Structure 1
Amino acid sequence: MKPVKLKKNLWITALVITSLPYSNDLLGQSSFINHTSQYSWSNLPTIHEPVFPKDTIDIRNFGAKGDGRTLNTKSINEAIRASNKKGGGVVLIPAGYWMSGPIALKSNVNLHLDDNAFLQFTSDFDQYEIVEGNYEGKPSARNQSPISGKDLENIAMTGKGTIDGNGDAWRMVGRGALTDGEWRRKLDSGGLVSADGKTWFPSEKTKLAHEEKRSVLLSEGKALADFEDIKDYLRPNMLMLTNCKKVLIEGVTLQNSPAWNVHPLMCQHITLRNLMIKNPDYAQNGDGIDIESCSNVLIEDCVLDVGDDAICIKSGKDEEGRKRGIATEQVIIRRNKVYLGHGGFVVGSEMSGGARDIFVEDCTFMGTDKGIRFKTTRGRGGVVENIHIRNINMSNIVHEAIFFDMYYWTAPPKANEVQEIPPVTIETPQIRNVYIDNVICNGANVGVFVRGLPEMPVKDIYLSNLFLTADKGIEIKDAQNISIKNAALYTDEVDPLVYIESARDLTFDRLVYKTELSTLVEVNGSNAQNLLFKNSNIGENKMEFKYGATEDAIKLNNN
């Protein structure tokens, strides 16, 4: 027996794989790769990187001082404009401690940070103008991002320096998210506390916006000046690129962002390489990388440790996202490591413009809330399809290792609850054609979770070569044409191994599991049908059928 330690000191016991049947080739080369998936891996997208002249401009030539006190906003921006005017090149931020306000990138310029360059953005909110921005795919009032670019081509940020967004100065934080020592230091730093003593605010304007539940959206008749009384609440994304082409971000450390960290929107040919992206675990909206309505993207060899989703695919929210109609597509994500985060690789929930032709491989997720995460809900619309994932390691996942959910931020019905099924419309989201191969997870609450909608099931999902240690095995609800082959499930003493509700056309081939479970399969709902278990040693005496489900829903083929 092999002990496996999970979060919160929860211990379970997992049998080593050699003690179970059908284990000889579980972790070997997959014999179950869908032909479409296999063909697609041999035809990966092409990403074009920018090229720059060798001319170098030093920001010190424009009066910048790396003393940690001087505000260098004017000097850095003048250097960038001068490089752009000359036809482009490198703008050098040398070793030193450089304070700055917002920086605007320009075409054909590579902003390069020396190894010991520390660029920190000021906590003086007056240095940031209120601008028209984007929040969850919708037009909104935001403070100007610390680094931004719009309608640019051939741009880069490179080097081994550090960029710090001073995010703690912007964000409110709940008492429960901090240790006693951290909370005392927050109180000592200034700011205000809510009447119940549970929330710290950095300023009066942030406190006012939160307590009055003020919207940041630019609805009809709203002007930017109307948000001045809650200006501090309008946290910016740290690096905001809009409608840019040929972008390279390489080598730098990006940390402590006020909101999202790296956010390309409607960009093409983006390379994110060898980045370290770090935010506190209490940083709400502290996403690492959010790729929104972009195409031809490469994210490789990055390390992320953040307070929200780590690597996330988006394409706009609800009606605005559908009107934009720009999918995120042709994306390669490989050799990345994620520590804390609400998901390692995430699609959604703002996916109304669609997401397709995305390839994820050779990544490791450690301590994330969820591992592979797909999330959406009614009203979004959009199609997520042709997603290819392989060779993923996970350790100590808090909730689900592999997760598909179409009830994001909404309450799903219970198994026996009579519900009115809405018609399929343009607002109905779809998730289909997802291929996941060779996933090893040591510690999760649930191994595989799939939950679609009655009117639009999650469908055409192909999972193979899974080796999952989790409290629970597999839960599938409102799904169609799901195939799981070569899956070793080391679960706690929690029945059942496989829970199925209102799903059909499911195939389970070569499941490996602990024999101590009293119930292996539970089927719920009269519309559950065509459930095939092959080569898995599942007997009829370890099945349960509830809420109208019948025994003829399952077919056994234990060869």
Structure 2
Amino acid sequence: MATSSFRGGLAMAVVLLPLLLLLALLAPLQCAASAAATCVGLAPAKRRREVISITEFGGVGDGRTVNTWAFRKAVYRIEHQRRRGGTELRVPAGTWLTGSFNLTSHMTLFLARGAVLKATTDTRRWPLVEPLPSYGRGREMPGARYAGFISGNGLRDVVITGDKGVIDGQGEVWWNMWRRRTLQHTRPNLVEFMHSTGIHISNIVLKNSPFWNIHPVYCNNVVVTNMMILAPHDSPNTDGVDPDSSTNVCIEDSYISTGDDLVAIKSGWDEYGIAYNRPSSGITIRRVRGSSPFSGIAIGSEASGGVSDVLVEDCSIFNSGYGIHIKTNVGRGGYIKNVTVDNVRMSGVRVAGVRIAGDAGDHPDANFSQLAVPTVDAVRITNVWGVGVQQPGSLEGIRSSPFTRICLSNVKLFGWRNGAAWRCRDVRGAALGVRPSPCAELATSFAAAGSCSF
């Protein structure tokens, strides 16, 4: 009887063990999904009761007339003559040359089909703004920075959308200044919102940004959806979307091909980010595809305010330097935790499919502290498949702060070179169903590691 009971229990264990492992695998994914933005109900693209046209303010879409004053007048009118339900500023078909301008709350900027909003290349007249407090200086140069082409600060309920209209930053003049080292200040972002909530950007094309394309910083409730973001692969630092010290951000259903990371999550730079202490959390990235000479989906390296509760799912990355790239450094401080990457496909990755690095990125000045050691914990990467991947992965932590609970499951990355192997040091975690075989620092099973049910 005892033998029969033992056999029955053993049989039950054999049946239940795969299920228990699967539940352990899914638990953090469910946790991250609930913590990250669901993308449903965030910053809906509202219909405005009032619709006005830029032509009513003297705008001329002939590609030669500079329309900066027309756009600023239109936004001033919307801001100072509030209409219940807000106002849509419509840009009809044509080429609308303009300098930088700000938006205002309860406003929609709508670009009709055939409308091209084109940034002036007269950099001498470009306005300057203060550096971000979480960076302490311009990202490229000390001191002030150039204002974004389209900006907003302290706004609520702002929509940029259209019928596949185009915002063209004409960034080559800025890229050449960077290449020649003649920049006086940090280059402008194409679209930047600060201290704002309820931002919705959709259904337009962004191209040739001078610097980062979309930069929500100190924002909440941001949706970027159905976008095309384009820049040449040799254009410097033209990141696609960079949520920065922001919460509840959804980036979905978009194609990005730029000269830098497709998406890069940030939260401040070294001692300035630590002091400002504004994390990024609740970030969802899904159904994004594209190529970059650098990274597909990146976290950091400027993550000194902390990054948590990130969900990346159902993405395709091709012709890229890295696929998934988590990067930090001594002096950064902060943390990167509770990150789930699921169902990502890669092809033509020239450096590594997965990189988690503790020695990446530069410093704003010499005042950073060697004691500001970041932590990386609870990163789960599941259901990743790639071909043409030079190296499967590099997981290299910090000796005084090893990266913990780095867990891989069903990760299969096939390379150009036979025998390409994972590189690991100062990292702890587990692996299940990983090809090529994972490094020794990762236990052979989740059960053996006892550390992947976070």
1:162–1:243: structure 2 CA closer, same or farther, 3 Å change rule? same
- Are 1:155 and 2:158 matched, yes or no? yes
How many residues are paired up? 409
**C-alpha contact (below 8 Å) 2:340/2:380 kept by paired residues:** yes
Report how far residue 30 of structure 1 moved.
5.8
Whole-Å separation in 2 of the counterparts to 1:276 and 1:292: 20
Report how far residue 39 of structure 1 moved.
4.1
Letter in 2 for 1:312: A
**C-alpha contact (below 8 Å) 1:377/1:406 kept by paired residues:** yes
- Are 1:48 and 2:42 matched, yes or no? yes
Report how far residue 42 of structure 1 moved.
5.3
State the match for 1:351 in structure 2.
Answer: 303
State the match for 1:507 in structure 2.
Answer: 443
Report how far residue 82 of structure 1 moved.
1.5
Structure with larger Rg: 1
What TM-score do you get using the length of structure 1 for normalisation?
0.69
Report how far residue 137 of structure 1 moved.
2.5
Whole-Å separation in 2 of the counterparts to 1:407 and 1:65: 50
Residue of 251, 254, 258 corresponding to 1:302: 254
**C-alpha contact (below 8 Å) 2:187/2:210 kept by paired residues:** yes
**C-alpha contact (below 8 Å) 1:101/1:122 kept by paired residues:** yes
State the match for 1:142 in structure 2.
Answer: 145
Matching of residues 76-87 of structure 1 within 5 Å: 76-87=71-82
Report how far residue 508 of structure 1 moved.
2.0
1:318–1:43: structure 2 CA closer, same or farther, 3 Å change rule? closer
Report how far residue 310 of structure 1 moved.
1.2
Whole-Å separation in 2 of the counterparts to 1:119 and 1:446: 41
Letter in 2 for 1:116: G
Whole-Å separation in 2 of the counterparts to 1:447 and 1:257: 32
What TM-score do you get using the length of structure 2 for normalisation?
0.85
State the match for 2:345 in structure 1.
Answer: 393
Residue of 94, 98, 101 corresponding to 2:99: 101
Q: Secondary structure at the match of 1:234?
A: coil
Report how far residue 389 of structure 1 moved.
1.1
State the match for 1:475 in structure 2.
Answer: 423
Q: Secondary structure at the match of 2:130?
A: strand
**C-alpha contact (below 8 Å) 1:341/1:367 kept by paired residues:** yes
**C-alpha contact (below 8 Å) 1:57/1:90 kept by paired residues:** yes
State the match for 1:37 in structure 2.
Answer: 29
1:113–1:252: structure 2 CA closer, same or farther, 3 Å change rule? same
Whole-Å separation in 1 of the counterparts to 2:370 and 2:208: 42
Runs of 4+ more than 4 Å apart: 29-32, 497-500
Letter in 1 for 2:128: I
Matching of residues 98-497 of structure 1 within 5 Å: 98-134=96-132, 137-140=135-138, 141-159=144-162, 160-172=164-176, 201=180, 207=182, 230=184, 233-409=185-361, 425=371, 427-470=372-415, 471=417, 472-480=420-428, 482-489=429-436
Report how far residue 509 of structure 1 moved.
4.2
Report how far residue 284 of structure 1 moved.
1.3
Deviates more, 1:469-478 or 1:398-407: 469-478
Note the aligned Cα RMSD (angstroms): 2.4
Q: Which string of whole-angstrom CA distances, capped at 9 and with x for unpartnered residues, describes residues 237-295 of structure 1?
A: 11111100100000111111111111110000000001111111111111111110000
Whole-Å separation in 2 of the counterparts to 1:169 and 1:60: 28
Report how far residue 435 of structure 1 moved.
1.1
Report how far residue 152 of structure 1 moved.
0.6
**C-alpha contact (below 8 Å) 1:298/1:331 kept by paired residues:** yes
Whole-Å separation in 2 of the counterparts to 1:444 and 1:147: 38
Letter in 1 for 2:425: K
Q: Secondary structure at the match of 2:421?
A: strand
Extract unaligned runs of 5+ from structure 1. Answer: 1-25, 175-198, 210-229, 411-422, 490-496, 511-529, 533-559
Whole-Å separation in 2 of the counterparts to 1:41 and 1:261: 26
Q: Which string of whole-angstrom CA distances, capped at 9 and with x for unpartnered residues, describes residues 386-434 of structure 1?
A: 0111000000001110110001158xxxxxxxxxxxx994x11111001
